[in-house]
A and B are shown apart, each in its own frame.
Chain A
């Protein structure tokens, strides 16, 4: 252990610990803006400046390793004044538009300014000008609010291995942008939105689609339906200050009705349907020598990433549409037919934890119903904002139930929202199908659970068949796995890939933790835990046992992989340009 003092408090830390981490471990808050532990420790923002006896000038705590006998002061006159000046400088080049900024409730720059005791803005000057990049259907980039902390760049490069954005120009003209100053929609961007989760200000945000949804809700000629992804129910509470992982399914449903949706459905229903189709596809590929491993396709970030970065792997992707898109196709066909609605009058909205879903809904091939299957995609954050705009206090709402028939689901569908969840749900069904009976009641496949920064592997023996499966979350981890698959180092039958760390619960459209992205790990864990809790409490825990799914096949689809399924529930992929260049760890 290394012994040092921070603000005269003696502390002991493991060798290699930075002064910043040492301070945090001992309850001393050193402000940061660019810091993301293990992802972005570059000393850029200068917020964490401290003094250390014997060290030249002011040092950045995020990069300075603790040394034996070190005497650190985090709150000297020099430190305070310099930090304050730097904040004043940042504010002097910041598009201060707090009243209209979506981040006004959780802006880190605002918080730091308050903590630094900034009461006026004495530094004036030219503001750097930049048009907002609205080109992407998923993510908006407003460089006039950017503080160039580079957290987005680091997450994109290190966690996602995508490097769709970087710094362009230099000095005062420096900007975060795709390379060669391309627009976001012209970059090899997966639309995962992880950048929006770590942005300290309103520079990188989800593309706001709330206005279009309000428009539809206020239109008496429209029948507006909504589907909510499994990951919303364990996260939306955070937008009202509830602890991470709070389960608010019933209140969420009530809230959506209060907003004026005509029917409130559950994407979990089509998650179950996805499992039935995908398990059938796996069975088909296993028995007829199809391309293996079969790789899941429900994460649109992952799908677009594959189209840019691994075009040769596209035949491995399941042809199953994502649950959102299966829902969209059914809503304007099966549901419309069943209730005598004209699909042109149906406005289909989805609430997703995901920014990439916005892009997915707009894919030209996603019109199996003859219309755009899903009209508008809102993230959890936009949903939270709509509730506030409508004066609905989620916390005070009574519970209510999803509408049927597209609202009935199983525990297996719910765990789609976490990494390993699709795999587990598929195994529950596949195990039973392959063995021909219920697998001694086995529903828990804990070997594929957990948010591991890497790859989870498992070998499952089902009815004499050995199934080798693997799970990756986060695109950099996915890439590591794909490299091994391509090199023939590993052989799997079935692989689950989720674009975001932790799976959908960690999606780029989820609520931003109030104390910044450092809490993300903890928050994701809490949300995952809650999904498993819902699963535990579910009476039906295998997708194929969902009676509404069974009815759907009986009344409408016929059989899994049948012709109607093929038309409505399956899709194809395309090679996308620019070709991605893999980066990161």
Chain B
């Protein structure tokens, strides 16, 4: 390793470059695929430190590894590094070994010694910890290059996630962080920054897809003595965690982009509004801000240019509506988070009635590379109207859950079946839900839809912030609509009647239908309410709340009718309409169902057919799922 003096306070491009140079070897090592591990002067064991892997005790794995390294006297050569999300959350805790990029899954503390001794010392990968889609087969995937999960993915926004230690500003700088800011401040005028952004065609990743460059321009032109830059990190869609992973894995990218925004529009203060339920993201942001201030990359006279910009964090208390930009602004102001009518738009009268630029985390995370590499580079991926990439949180009934970054326009089919590894065995893909509670469904017949800002609305759904929930034949679409309405009516701020009362009424109707008590008139009423609430609500939350209902009515009206006319739930989800029985012919008397029953409703004698006591059955479906002989019927 080089022993160049690393400046503590960075006050020029030269000093920034010195820091990058000091860390160049580290980055190079973590990208080295060919060097044989036994010959490498240094080995890095990258342990995922993102919330998902942490929930699976990755810190314990990391500490065990660190202790073993010391124990075996390897501390000089082997470094254990906590990094951000690799994306393949299903396989967590993930440990990746460089050089070579060997990708280990589900690494527990007891696996650490084997990795260290057999692989790092002996040069032999630990086969059993490599990914396989089917444990019964011998196929093993060694690296991120091989893993099907990464086929078709392009990690731009997530480029540093899983590469650098998010708690080290030096590593961030080594991975080019703050060079876009330096370029903007030293080589570009604010107009040029905005022009490049406009040329890039970047659209807001928070969901609405508003052209980012235009937003910056509006804010730059807005008259105001003081302006603000706001980062919306109040990610709230159920199942979505794109922004969280970005903040946990590469917080400096967002800080850098916000500073550029300040330069472009003429603001000196930024706020990151992040939900308090993201404690790790908050902690890493706080640390990143402190480091950036210490190094002079935030604060007064950044890089000696005379430009000053600082960032503070504001915590959201968990209200979904605070992701709506005007409610977010009210909340930052210390008021109850309730949306304000637009116009006036925040660009002209936002935070404390001052011109305010508000972008979402992923949007900011795109910007440094646009400034560094140019709009043309950015447009190389994606579609004409939706250039670049999009990060999706792949969840639901899919084999490979995780964080996925693909070029805009990638077909849903590729995301589900290649990257996502398809749906669990024996199940049939039914629909993908995008846009969370504001979105809708993409049914199986539209699997070849390109994921971009134009195609999804044409199907009655929306891009949203990136939640992508996969459903199979076990999902009831009426129940799905009910679930989302339950969410929105609970999260409604209460300010306007269409949302406050309307979502409640829609939920009540959906509950009736799910209970088999619905009528055709209820479906009509549901549609009338949906249209009126969409038109009449104050903010995006209310205006989009009916979407899950409209979307499921559009593609799955037959399921609604089955609930109403036949009092049947075709998917067997709606408990009131589902009754489980054991086929006496098919039952082998294995007792698996009885053991899985939480209410002891299944009785019988081993090796004789079992039966279900209907009065005790809570219709949870456990027996149906566990029976190997398809003897449980509904």
**Residues of A with Cβ closer than 8 Å to B?**
42-46, 49, 57-60, 63-65, 78, 81-83, 85-86, 89-90, 92-93, 122-123, 125-126, 147-148, 150, 166-167, 169-174
Q: B414-469: which residues lie under 8 A (CB-CB) from chain A?
A: none
Indicate if the CB atoms of B500 and A81 lie closer than 8 Å: no
Closest Cβ of chain B to A275, distance in Å, is 44
A86-B536, A167-B336, A167-B494 as given contacts; A93 in contact with B529, CB under 8 Å: no
Indicate if the CB atoms of A147 and B500 lie closer than 8 Å: no
Cβ-defined partner of B501 (8 Å) among A44, A60, A65, A92: A92
Which chain A residue has the least Cβ–Cβ distance from B344?
Answer: A65
A44-B538, A125-B508 as given contacts; A90 in contact with B494, CB under 8 Å: no
Q: Supply 20 further A-B pairs (C-beta < 8 A) apart from A44-B538, A65-B343, A174-B500.
A: A42-B495, A43-B340, A46-B497, A57-B543, A64-B343, A81-B532, A82-B535, A86-B502, A89-B498, A122-B525, A123-B505, A126-B504, A169-B494, A170-B491, A171-B492, A171-B504, A172-B489, A172-B500, A172-B501, A172-B503
A58-B535, A122-B525, A171-B489 as given contacts; A45 in contact with B497, CB under 8 Å: yes
Q: How many B residues have CB within 8 A of the partner chain?
A: 34
Cβ-defined partner of A123 (8 Å) among B494, B529, B535: B529
Which chain A positions have C-beta within 8 A of B536? 46, 49, 58, 82-83, 85-86
Q: List 17 A-B contacts (CB under 8 A).
A: A43-B341, A45-B497, A46-B538, A58-B536, A65-B344, A82-B536, A83-B536, A93-B497, A125-B505, A126-B504, A170-B321, A170-B492, A171-B489, A171-B504, A172-B492, A174-B493, A174-B495
A49 to B538, CA, bound (A): 10
Which chain B positions have C-beta within 8 A of A58? 535-536
Indicate if the CB atoms of B535 and A57 lie closer than 8 Å: yes
Q: Does B393 contact A (CB under 8 A)?
A: no
Indicate if the CB atoms of B496 and A46 lie closer than 8 Å: yes
Indicate if the CB atoms of A166 and B535 lie closer than 8 Å: no
A81 to B497, CA, bound (A): 15
Indicate if the CB atoms of A148 and B525 lie closer than 8 Å: no
A398 to B491, CA, bound (A): 60
Closest Cβ of chain A to B535, distance in Å, is 5
Which chain B residue has the least Cβ–Cβ distance from A64?
Answer: B343
Closest Cβ of chain A to B513, distance in Å, is 14
Closest Cβ of chain A to B518, distance in Å, is 13
A60 to B493, CA, bound (A): 18
Closest Cβ of chain A to B528, distance in Å, is 7
Which chain B residue has the least Cβ–Cβ distance from A88?
Answer: B532
A219 to B498, CA, bound (A): 51
Cβ-defined partner of A85 (8 Å) among B338, B496, B498: B498
B 329-351 to A, binary, CB cutoff 8 A, 1 in contact else 0: 00000001010110110000000
Indicate if the CB atoms of B494 and A89 lie closer than 8 Å: no
Which chain A positions have C-beta within 8 A of B543? 57
Which chain B residue has the least Cβ–Cβ distance from A174?
Answer: B494
Closest Cβ of chain B to A368, distance in Å, is 45
A323 to B406, CA, bound (A): 78
Indicate if the CB atoms of A170 and B494 lie closer than 8 Å: yes
Which chain A positions have C-beta within 8 A of B537? 46
**Residues of B with Cβ closer than 8 Å to A?**
319, 321, 336, 338, 340-341, 343-344, 489-498, 500-505, 508, 525, 528-529, 532, 535-538, 543
A83 to B498, CA, bound (A): 10
Which chain A positions have C-beta within 8 A of B495? 42, 44, 148, 150, 174
Which chain B positions have C-beta within 8 A of A57? 535, 543
Indicate if the CB atoms of A170 and B497 lie closer than 8 Å: no
**Most chain B CB inside 10 Å of its own CB: which residue of A65, A147, A171:** A171
A82-B535, A85-B528 as given contacts; A126 in contact with B508, CB under 8 Å: yes
A85-B528, A123-B525 as given contacts; A90 in contact with B341, CB under 8 Å: no
A172 to B132, CA, bound (A): 48
Which chain B positions have C-beta within 8 A of A123? 505, 525, 529
Which chain B positions have C-beta within 8 A of A65? 343-344
Which chain A positions have C-beta within 8 A of B341? 42-43, 59-60, 63-64
Closest Cβ of chain A to B347, distance in Å, is 15
Indicate if the CB atoms of A85 and B538 lie closer than 8 Å: no
Which chain B positions have C-beta within 8 A of A60? 341, 538
The 9 closest A-B pairs by CB, nearest first: A174-B494, A43-B341, A85-B532, A171-B492, A63-B341, A89-B501, A172-B504, A82-B536, A125-B508
A58-B536, A126-B508 as given contacts; A85 in contact with B529, CB under 8 Å: yes
Closest Cβ of chain A to B519, distance in Å, is 12
Which chain A residue has the least Cβ–Cβ distance from B491?
Answer: A171
Indicate if the CB atoms of A170 and B498 lie closer than 8 Å: no
Closest Cβ of chain B to A96, distance in Å, is 14
A148 to B336, CA, bound (A): 14
A60 to B497, CA, bound (A): 14
A78 to B536, CA, bound (A): 10
A93 to B338, CA, bound (A): 21
A122 to B489, CA, bound (A): 20
A487 to B500, CA, bound (A): 45
Indicate if the CB atoms of A148 and B498 lie closer than 8 Å: no
A122 to B524, CA, bound (A): 12
Which chain B residue has the least Cβ–Cβ distance from A81?
Answer: B532
A89 to B508, CA, bound (A): 13
Which chain B residue has the least Cβ–Cβ distance from A87?
Answer: B497
A81 to B536, CA, bound (A): 10
